[in-house]
């Protein structure tokens, strides 16, 4: 089970098998889901006491409400779509991941397998970005066929934010491995030329600096300046030109053109006002936006919060935000050594920034981070603040019976005049 959870991010989150066409017919995502489910059943992960542990997490309660609203929206949706198949796929992939983590993790040290899998996935995806990338829109790099360049950038940012706080608490070999992984990840983000990824990275790094106080801000600021100088010196000119356009948005096509993000968001606001309570139905934004778009182009939301608000209405939006804020609030580090709490918070901050430009309302990377937060909450509620000492049972000693005919001897009588008894060894 431990090694399955280490391999799981490679297949389900990173989808690195898409790079190798020979692996496509194997349907490794489905195979991994089935193998995980069999492992869950064999380890009694579906037993009632094990499932009851979920309710120790407040974030899971929000997630259960989110699932309920998604299910209801299948029947209340007003636009033709594949809501039912999307819901089944969402449950099959994410719920299997959540059940596997709940089955395997019993203490905080058990997270090392799943988070080690994230590190391995980031390394493999980073190598792919440099060695065998998929080019989109000219020279923009994507890591696989499921992720476009913007998705690739946000995945690196959230993954690095989740695991990098552990660098202080691991062996030197792993620490330098994390530093190397950071260099690879930053290089991959630069190759994607994702402006939304750049914004998410800056916000995440700033949040990390603020969490470490004034000295931490200065240290991270110096490291950021050094990284920026290296990027400016080594990155291609066309990549830097795209990043610099963040400061000239008034002339960007997303702000001025038909079908740009601003136009899509306005259409999303129109849909939200038309269906504020029930929404348009899960996974219907693209179809619904096409009905109000006079240009005839059906587009994704390019904003996770607009996506959820339009599709699930006000109740779904409230529950979605409640789930995020619950995970963030309860990820507060318990002490200086609680690096996982810091990692969860930084990953969620990265999503809050990058999710403003991507349709990640139901993305498995987001819900993987949320599942780590849920299981951590459950583990913390099971940990006792005071260690309980288990008394060691004393072995009874059987004494030999004293015969009645033994004469009473004075206390100072010589030992030779006393009857000696040999104590039996305890059983």
347 vs 20, which has greater pLDDT?
A: 347
Sorted by where each begins, the domain ranges of the chain are 2-382
Look at residue 418 and tell me whether its pLDDT is greater than 70.
Answer: no
Q: What pLDDT, on the 0 to 100 scale, is given for residue 340?
A: 92
Look at residue 205 and tell me whether its pLDDT is greater than 60.
Answer: yes
- 141 bridge partner residues: 135
- Three-state secondary structure readout of 105-166: CCCHHHHHHHHHHHHHHHHHHHHHHHHCCEEECCCEEECCCCCCHHHHHHHHHHHHHHHHHH
Look at residue 259 and tell me whether its pLDDT is greater than 90.
Answer: no
Work out the pLDDT band at 245, boundaries 50, 70, 90. low
Tell me the C-alpha to C-alpha distance, in Å, between residue 374 and each of 53, 56, 98, 326, 381.
10, 9, 9, 10, 11
Strand 134-136 vs strand 140-142: parallel, antiparallel, or unpaired? antiparallel
Q: What is the mean pLDDT of residues 42-64?
A: 88
Q: What is the mean pLDDT of residues 156-163?
A: 94
Tell me the C-alpha to C-alpha distance, in Å, between residue 217 and each of 168, 208, 331, 335, 348.
17, 8, 21, 20, 20
pLDDT tens for each residue of 128-155: 999 988 888 778 888 888 898 999 999 9
Region of poorest pLDDT, from 193-207, 227-241, 280-294, 326-340: 227-241
CA dihedral 98, 99, 103, 107 (to 10 degrees): 20
Residue 7: name the closest of 119, 174, 143, 130 by CA: 119
Q: What pLDDT, on the 0 to 100 scale, is given for residue 256?
A: 66
Q: What pLDDT, on the 0 to 100 scale, is given for residue 293?
A: 73
Residues 6 or more apart in contact with residue 26 via CB below 8 angstroms: 17
- 134 bridge partner residues: 142
Counting Cα atoms < 13 Å in the Cβ hemisphere of 331 gives 26
CB atoms within 10 A of CB 381: 13
Look at residue 386 and tell me whether its pLDDT is greater than 50.
Answer: no
Q: What pLDDT, on the 0 to 100 scale, is given for residue 221?
A: 72
Q: What is the mean pLDDT of residues 41-51?
A: 85
Work out the pLDDT band at 240, boundaries 50, 70, 90. low
Region of poorest pLDDT, from 202-211, 273-282, 300-309: 202-211
Q: What is the mean pLDDT of residues 173-180?
A: 90
- pTM equals 0.84
Return mean pLDDT, the chain.
82
Look at residue 204 and tell me whether its pLDDT is greater than 60.
Answer: yes
Work out the pLDDT band at 328, boundaries 50, 70, 90. very high
Q: What pLDDT, on the 0 to 100 scale, is given for residue 388?
A: 37
Region of poorest pLDDT, from 47-51, 67-71, 182-186, 392-396: 392-396
Cα gap 114→100, rounded to integer Å: 10
Look at residue 276 and tell me whether its pLDDT is greater than 80.
Answer: yes
Cα gap 188→383, rounded to integer Å: 39
The burial class, CB within 10 Å (0-12 / 13-18 / 19+), for 151 is buried
Tell me the C-alpha to C-alpha distance, in Å, between residue 311 and each of 68, 78, 278.
14, 10, 8
- Three-state secondary structure readout of the chain: CHHHHHHHHHHHHCCHHHHCHHHHHHCHHHHHHHHHHHHHHHCCCCCHHHHHHHHHCHHHHHHHHHHHHHHHHHHHCCCCCCHHHHHHHHHHHHHHHHHHHHHHCCCHHHHHHHHHHHHHHHHHHHHHHHHCCEEECCCEEECCCCCCHHHHHHHHHHHHHHHHHHHHHCCHHHHHHHHHHHHHHHHHHHHHCCHHHHHHHHHHHHHHHHHCHHHHHHHHHHHHHHHHHHHHHHCCHHHHHHHHHHHHHHHCHHHHCCCCHHHHHHHHHHHHHHCCCCCCCCCCHHHHHHHHCCCCCCCCCCCHHHHHHHHHHHHHHHHHHHHHHHHHHHCCCCCCCCHHHHHHHHHHHHHHHHCCCCCCCCCHHHHHHHHHHHHHHHHHHHCCCCCCCCCCCCCCCCCCCCCCCCCCCCCCCCHHHCCCCCCCCCC
Q: What is the mean pLDDT of residues 219-246?
A: 67
Q: Find out whether 395 and 233 touch, Cβ atoms under 8 Å.
A: no
User: Which range has the top average pLDDT, 285-289, 390-394, 415-419?
Assistant: 285-289
Work out the pLDDT band at 209, boundaries 50, 70, 90. confident
Look at residue 327 and tell me whether its pLDDT is greater than 80.
Answer: yes
Cα gap 65→374, rounded to integer Å: 14
pLDDT tens for each residue of 348-377: 999 999 999 999 999 999 999 999 999 999
Cα gap 223→209, rounded to integer Å: 11
CA dihedral 257, 260, 263, 265 (to 10 degrees): -160
């Amino acid at each position: 089970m431990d090694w399955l959870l280490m391999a799981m991010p490679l297949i389900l989150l990173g989808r690195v098998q898409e790079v190798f066409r020979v692996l496509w017919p194997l349907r490794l995502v489905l195979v991994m889901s089935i193998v995980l489910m069999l492992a869950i059943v064999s380890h009694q992960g579906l037993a009632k006491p094990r499932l009851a542990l979920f309710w120790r997490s407040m974030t899971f309660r929000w997630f259960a409400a989110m699932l309920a609203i998604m299910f209801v929206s299948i029947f209340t949706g007003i636009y033709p779509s594949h809501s039912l198949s999307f819901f089944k796929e969402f449950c099959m992939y994410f719920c299997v991941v959540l059940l596997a983590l709940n089955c395997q993790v019993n203490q905080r040290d058990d997270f090392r397998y799943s988070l080690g899998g994230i590190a391995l996935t980031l390394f493999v995806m980073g190598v792919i970005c440099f060695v065998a990338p998929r080019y989109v829109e000219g020279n923009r790099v994507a890591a696989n066929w499921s992720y476009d360049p913007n998705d690739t950038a946000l995945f690196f940012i959230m993954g690095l934010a989740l695991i990098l706080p552990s660098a202080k608490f691991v062996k030197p070999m792993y620490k330098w491995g994390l530093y190397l992984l950071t260099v690879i990840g930053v290089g991959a983000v630069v190759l994607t030329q994702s402006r939304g990824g750049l914004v998410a990275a800056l916000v995440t790094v700033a949040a990390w600096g603020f969490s470490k106080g004034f000295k931490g801000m200065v240290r991270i600021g110096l490291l950021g300046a050094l990284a920026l100088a290296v990027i400016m010196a080594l990155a291609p000119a066309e990549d830097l030109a795209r990043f610099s356009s963040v400061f000239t948005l008034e002339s960007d096509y997303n702000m001025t053109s038909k079908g740009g993000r601003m136009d899509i968001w306005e259409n999303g606001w129109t849909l939200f006002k038309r269906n504020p309570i029930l929404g348009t139905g899960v996974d219907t934004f693209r179809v619904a936006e096409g009905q109000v778009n006079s240009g005839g182009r059906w587009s994704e939301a390019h904003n996770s919060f607009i996506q959820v608000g339009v599709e699930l209405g006000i109740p779904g939006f409230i529950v979605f935000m409640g789930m995020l804020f619950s995970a963030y609030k309860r990820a507060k580090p318990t002490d200086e050594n609680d690096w996982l709490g810091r990692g969860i918070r930084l990953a969620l901050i990265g999503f809050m920034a990058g999710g403003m430009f991507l349709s990640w309302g139901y993305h498995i990377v987001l819900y993987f981070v949320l599942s780590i937060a849920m299981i951590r909450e459950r583990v913390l509620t099971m940990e006792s603040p005071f260690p309980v000492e288990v008394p060691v049972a004393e072995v009874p000693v059987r004494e030999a019976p004293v015969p009645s005919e033994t004469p009473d001897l004075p206390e100072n009588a010589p030992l030779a005049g006393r009857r000696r008894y040999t104590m039996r060894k305890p059983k």
